[in-house]
């Protein structure tokens, strides 16, 4: 039954109704965030209007998290904590790429006087990045990464 909601069989997934009453299934965290903003954030409390510079920057950072930070950090954690054997090449590859991505994020955050990834408010980019940043600082390989 779940594969009808998410053909990939993973979480997260969302089922909602469109304005015309049709049921829609949305899967993948980034798609869900964009859907929620599109449908429910009409006042732009966690977004910017479509077509603005800030909108496209926040979408870019959301894609950065989905295509970079999440996968790289997930693999680093896997090879450090769950792999049955320690593969030095794999561990170094993903840990070093995670470090690089956090330097990119730090540069971005440092350049914004508001302290957000984009603009003057929390956006889908911040919402997507925060759990990974929090997990990084609490992960079992965090101390390893400081070496």
Mean pLDDT, each 10-residue run in order, the chain (147 residues): 97 96 97 97 97 98 97 90 88 92 96 97 97 77 54
- The rounded distance, in Å, linking the Cα atoms of 124 and 34 is 7
Q: What is the pLDDT of residue 140?
A: 57
Look up residue 112 and give its DSSP letter.
Answer: -
pTM of the predicted model as reported, rounded to 2 decimal places: 0.90
Q: Kindly report the length of the chain.
A: 147
Characterize 109-140 residue by residue with b for buried, 16 or more Cβ atoms within 10 angstroms of its Cβ, and e for exposed: eeeeeeebbbbeebbbbbbbbeebbeebeebe
């Amino acid at each position: 039954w779940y594969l009808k909601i998410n053909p990939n069989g993973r979480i997260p997934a969302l089922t909602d109704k469109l304005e015309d009453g049709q049921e829609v299934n949305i899967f993948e965290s980034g798609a869900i965030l964009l859907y929620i903003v599109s449908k429910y954030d009409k006042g732009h409390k966690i977004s910017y209007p479509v077509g603005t510079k800030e909108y496209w920057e926040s979408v870019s950072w959301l894609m950065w998290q989905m295509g970079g930070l999440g996968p790289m950090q997930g693999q680093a954690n896997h090879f450090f904590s769950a792999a049955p054997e320690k593969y030095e090449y794999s561990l170094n590859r993903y840990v070093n790429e995670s470090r690089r991505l956090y330097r990119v994020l730090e540069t971005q955050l440092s350049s914004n006087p508001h302290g957000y990834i984009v603009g003057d408010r929390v956006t889908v980019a911040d919402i997507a990045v925060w759990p990974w940043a929090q997990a990084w600082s609490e992960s079992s390989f965090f101390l390893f990464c400081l070496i």
